[in-house]
Amino acid sequence: MNRTVSSAEWIGATPRQSVLIVDDSPTDLLYLTRVLERPDRHIISVRSGEEALQVLKGFECALVLLDIHLEGLNGFQTAEKIRAEERTRHLPVIFITATSRDQENVFRGYDAGAVDYLFKPLEANLLRSKVNVFCELSAQRLVIQEQLKEIQAKNEVLHRQLEEIKTLRGLVPICARCKNVRDDSGFWQTIEAYVCDHSEAEFSHSLCPECTGVLYPGLQIHSHAPARTPQS
Amino acid sequence: MADSEPIDINWLRKTFDEDSILAELYTMYVGDITKRLSELREALAAKDAERCSRVAHTMKGSSGNVGAGRMRELATQLEKHDWAADPAAVPALAQSLDAEFGRVRTFVEQFLAGSPVAG
């Protein structure tokens, strides 16, 4: 069987550039595929509404081209089922029909969520233009979604950091003798460990002149640090 | 003249640069319509007007897409035909479709063999 009419060729496609075509005529499926195919686009072609719904369950598409006259679920019924699913509620559907421009059918299509209508024989340039527009919109929507995810992730980091700052600014119980502090879980730890856990600060070990004098009484100390004087 | 040809080759040539795509589409079309005509004969034998109309509708769509103008006209007539009002005309229309399809097949065979076709 020609690969363009296989209903299983959607595996491994790039979601943002996928177009699902549903038509029970293998000739029309092949024609649509050849008109719409591009190196950066994947065409998924199926011959029934049921197959289309199966594909959409596990696959992101930019657009569906849906023939109205299908065996089993017809195009309108298929579109209604697409609308009923949360994941595919806003998926653009273009109906295709060989019927003459029948007003009743057209309006029914719009009720079912059709964004457009095309009549066979299909004019290739018009079809390409319409499909290109929807593919670009889909790609833009994915970029915006990615940017939104990044912003949300950054917001979470900022929120966490703000919480840590608030923790450091809150009331911290400190032992009057050893100067250890009690953390949020009730454990006592050194003040250095506590500050390290709750901020970006790190400690390096040193001795102040006063302690050096106590520990090493004979040692001459030449410090350029200003002497601390108590605030009045 | 192009008008008398069963397939207007310019219809697909204005869309596709490569004749290999035309060959692929014509081959698919001939295989597809062979099955549809067989289905139509079954529907006629069963006097199933609805199925007959549905098959004609599908043939109309694909005939239009490959530029088979006369096939499209005949399929449209059959799709819209009031079977109840004029049952005798239905087999005649089906025969016309068969005959026209014979011309289509010859045209496609010539095209695939590389013979010059009107364009």
Nearest to B16 among A34, A120, A121 (CB): A34
Residue B27 CB: number of other CB atoms within 10 A?
A: 16
A24 and B CB contact within 8 Å: yes
Question: Mean pLDDT of all residues in chain B?
Answer: 91
Q: How close, in Å, is residue B39 to chain A by CA atoms? A: 13
Report d(CA A155, CA A107) in Å as an integer: 45
Chain A residues in contact with B25 by the CB 8 A cut-off are: 27, 30-31, 34
Q: Which two tokens stand for residue A129?
A: 């233009």
> ipTM > 0.85?
yes
* Mean per-residue pLDDT, A7-20: 55
Dihedral angle at the C-alpha atoms of B29, B34, B37, B38, nearest 10 degrees?
-150
pTM, 2 dp: 0.72
Residue A54 CB: number of other CB atoms within 10 A?
A: 14
Chain A, nearest residue to B29 by Cα: A27
Report d(CA A204, CA B3) in Å as an integer: 93
A116 - beta bridge partners? A94
Instruction: Give the pLDDT confidence score for residue A162 in this predicted structure.
Output: 84
Report d(CA B1, CA B119) in Å as an integer: 9
CA distances from A25 to A18, A56, A138, A163, B62 (A): 20, 20, 27, 61, 7
Q: For residue A67, what are the contacts with CB-CB under 8 A and spacing of at least 6? A: A22, A23, A24, A25, A28, A75, A95, A96, A97, B61
Instruction: Give the pLDDT confidence score for residue A165 in this predicted structure.
Output: 74
User: Residue B41: what residue type?
Assistant: R
* Mean per-residue pLDDT, B87-103: 93
Maximal CA-CA distance, chain B: 46
Instruction: Give the pLDDT confidence score for residue A106 in this predicted structure.
Output: 63
Instruction: Give the pLDDT confidence score for residue A220 in this predicted structure.
Output: 72
pLDDT band at residue A14 under the 50/70/90 scheme: very low
Give the tens place of pLDDT for each residue, A20-74.
Answer: 999 999 999 999 999 999 988 999 999 999 999 999 998 889 999 999 989 899 9
Verify whether the Cβ–Cβ distance A24 to B58 is below 8 Å.
yes
